[in-house]
Amino acid sequence: MHKSQIVKEGIEIITRDGVSLAATLFSPSKPKAGVLISSGVGYPKEFYARIAAYGATRGFACLVYDYRGIAGSAPEDMRTCTADFFTWGTLDAPAALDALVSRLDGLPVFTMGHSFGGQLVGLMDNNQLAAAHALIAVGSGYWAGLRPSEWFRMFVLFYIIGPLSLVRHGYLRGIFYWPGVSMPGPVFKQWRQWCLRSDYYWRDIQKKLGGAYFAMKGAPIRQFGFTDDPVVTPKSEAFTRKCYQTADYETCWTKPEDIGVPKIGHSGMFSRSASDFWPMPFDWFETKIP
């Protein structure tokens, strides 16, 4: 399908509690299915625009969106934002999935989650609306499960840069304090707490959500991992597999040389240079279309 046939449409998503989220839909003239693309921590929806546009050329209507408190969905005064990860997973992501489903008139829908965007699938009370879930570099953020090269960076973020930004601004200020976009203070505090615990977010899920919706019945999961990812290693990826232990779950590891690039890391798979990766999740989705 030629790119000129792809329509890029900015849309507004209204959550169940009345919050407006910014979103963009990349859609072919006659979609055969839809894909909800959920972001990793600190990544705006525009970061996923290239793979979303590619998916549209394959016949998939791809929706990217910003969680509340992030980029296009941020309030004027970030200090007022009380959102945390559970808000993103139990309210924002379900609203985005409902919005996509409502536009596709019964066509199959899938999810693609990068990093936390794959962790939140189990928090969504409507995840059964999706026929399958692709996880892109999804693992526990617990510091000891990461490669040692990441330990100092995490120490600086969680003990110096982050707390300083919260004191000065009331939230984690992007660009000036860390490379991602600005994020609400509660998100940073929760992220820090989880990354310092061996059970990551599982204790809080059991306590606050009673296990949530991780029992994925009938919807297969494929994890796409990358051998040079300093965050999602075989050790940290095993945590994700355990969370979704009752699901039909498989993991595929990709080396940088497999897609003709010198480095992938934790987010390089979405760069233009790594476009040889982009067909992989969509090829898998194709096999799940009735």
**Sign of the C-alpha dihedral, residues 127, 132, 138, 139?**
positive
Neighbouring-strand partners of residue 111: 36, 133
5-30 pLDDT, tens digit per residue, is 899 999 999 999 999 999 999 999 99
Q: What is the mean pLDDT of residues 107-129?
A: 97
Report the interhelical angle of 185-195 vs 162-169 (nearest 10°): 160
Q: Check pLDDT > 70 for residue 117.
A: yes
% pLDDT > 90, the chain: 92
CA 48 to CA 25: how far, in whole Å? 11
pLDDT of residue 126: 96
Of residues 102, 114, 113, 111, the one with CA closest to residue 130 = 111
Q: What is the mean pLDDT of residues 83-104?
A: 98
User: Picking from 25-29, 194-198, 245-249, which range would have the lowest pLDDT averaged per residue?
Assistant: 245-249
Q: Check pLDDT > 60 for residue 177.
A: yes
* Longest CA–CA separation in the chain, Å: 53
56 neighbors 49 (Cβ within 8 angstroms): no
**Sign of the C-alpha dihedral, residues 18, 24, 29, 32?**
negative
Domains along the sequence of the chain with CATH: 3-143+201-287 (3.40.50.1820)
Q: Tell me the CB-side half-sphere exposure of residue 20, using CA atoms within 13 A.
A: 7
113 neighbors 38 (Cβ within 8 angstroms): yes
pTM: 0.96
pLDDT of residue 283: 98
pLDDT of residue 217: 81
pLDDT of residue 106: 94
Q: How many helices (H) does the chain have, and how many strands (E)?
A: 10, 10
Beta strands in 163-217 (DSSP E): 171-172, 183-184
168 neighbors 146 (Cβ within 8 angstroms): no
- Are β-strands 33-38 and 7-14 bridged in parallel, bridged antiparallel, or unpaired? unpaired
Q: Give burial (CB, 10 Å; 0-12/13-18/19+) of 24.
A: buried
CA 136 to CA 113: how far, in whole Å? 6
Q: Check pLDDT > 70 for residue 267.
A: yes
CA 289 to CA 120: how far, in whole Å? 23
202-218 pLDDT, tens digit per residue, is 999 999 999 899 988 88
pLDDT of residue 87: 97
pLDDT of residue 3: 58
